[in-house]
Amino acid sequence: MTCVVYPGTFDPITNGHTDLVQRGAKLFDRVIVAVAASPSKTPRFDLETRVSLVTEVLKDLKNVTVMGFDGLLMDFVQSHQAQVVLRGLRAMSDFEFEFQLAGMNRHLAPDIETIFMTPSEKYAFISSSLVREVAALGGDVSRFVHPKVMAELTGIIK
Ligand code: COA
């Protein structure tokens, strides 16, 4: 049984993340979506809210589990007996950071492989921070996030 971990801050989860999880769920027996505490990013939504939004958005995918974590990603991956880390690549601009991350993670845990997938082109230009900014300024981001996320974004603006 191959288990893949899809990590991220998910502040908040967007349709681009969901698209990638759906693709991963078709390829792997089990997908663990690992929501990082990421204190250095000072997330807009607390960890509990981010985990609960990701859980709600992905609830229909039977082989997907959602968990929050604090600490090293590689420790999390090994403690859940996963073999693979999945990351999304949207554009060349993602490559440099992802290359560094994959290299450091391989140094920490040589047996864990990182694989990359691309989301649907219609989500290639979105990011969580862009969605937050546009929503905060009154723009319509409903095409890019689940209705529950939309409600949460609207809640923080009011
Ligand atoms: N569609 C749309 N947007 C996407 C996307 C997709 N498929 N994939 C990524 N993004 C966006 C996110 O919305 C996010 O946007 P933002 O920067 O505006 O918030 C950005 O790309 C990157 O975010 P994400 O994929 O969530 O990754 P991250 O950089 O926040 O998370 C971790 C990186 C959590 C994997 C990394 O920090 C980590 O492993 N942390 C644990 C601690 C650790 O082990 N550190 C050492 C690592 S070597």
Question: How crowded is the C-beta side of 77, counted as CA atoms within 13 Å?
Answer: 24
For residue 126, give the H/E element and its range.
none
Is it true that domain 3-124 has CATH number 3.40.50.720? Answer: no
Nearest CA residue ID for atom 36, ligand 1? 8
Q: Helices then strands (H, E): number in the chain?
A: 6, 5
pLDDT digits (tens, 9 = 90+) for 94-140: 899 999 999 999 999 999 999 999 999 999 999 999 999 999 999 99
Q: What pLDDT, on a 0 to 100 scale, did the predictor assign at position 157?
A: 53
Q: How far is the CA of 88 from the centre of ligand 1 (A)?
A: 9
pLDDT digits (tens, 9 = 90+) for 48-89: 999 999 999 999 999 999 999 999 999 999 999 999 999 999
Domain boundaries, the chain: 3-124
pLDDT digits (tens, 9 = 90+) for 102-115: 999 999 999 999 99
* Through-space distance between the first and last CA atoms of the chain, rounded to whole angstroms: 46
Q: How far is the CA of 109 from the centre of ligand 1 (A)?
A: 19
Indicate which residues carry an active-site annotation: 17, 41, 90, 128
Q: Please, which residues have CB within 8 angstroms of residue 147's CB and are 6 or more apart in sequence? A: none
* Nearest residue to 38 (alpha-carbon basis) of 15, 71, 12, 75: 71
User: In which residue are the tokens 């140094």 written?
Assistant: 107
Q: Are 70 and 38 in contact (CB under 8 A)?
A: no
